[in-house]
Amino acid sequence: MAHVAFTRHLSRFFPDLVEGPVPAGSVRELVGSLDATHPGLARYRCEDDGRLRKHVNVFVDGEMVSDRVALSDALTDRSEVFIVQALSGG
- Which residues sit opposite 58 in a β-bridge? 83
**pTM, full prediction:** 0.90
Integer Cα distance of 13 and 75 in angstroms:
26
- Transcribe 27-44 into DSSP letters: HHHHHHHHHHHSTTHHHH
Checking if the pLDDT of 13 tops 70, the result is yes
pLDDT value at position 86? 73
Enter the CATH code of domain 2-85.
3.10.20.30
Checking if the pLDDT of 90 tops 70, the result is no
pLDDT value at position 11? 82
Dump pLDDT digits (tens) for 42-71.
998 899 999 999 889 999 999 999 999 999
Find the radius of gyration of the CA atoms of the chain. Answer: 12
Integer Cα distance of 13 and 26 in angstroms:
24
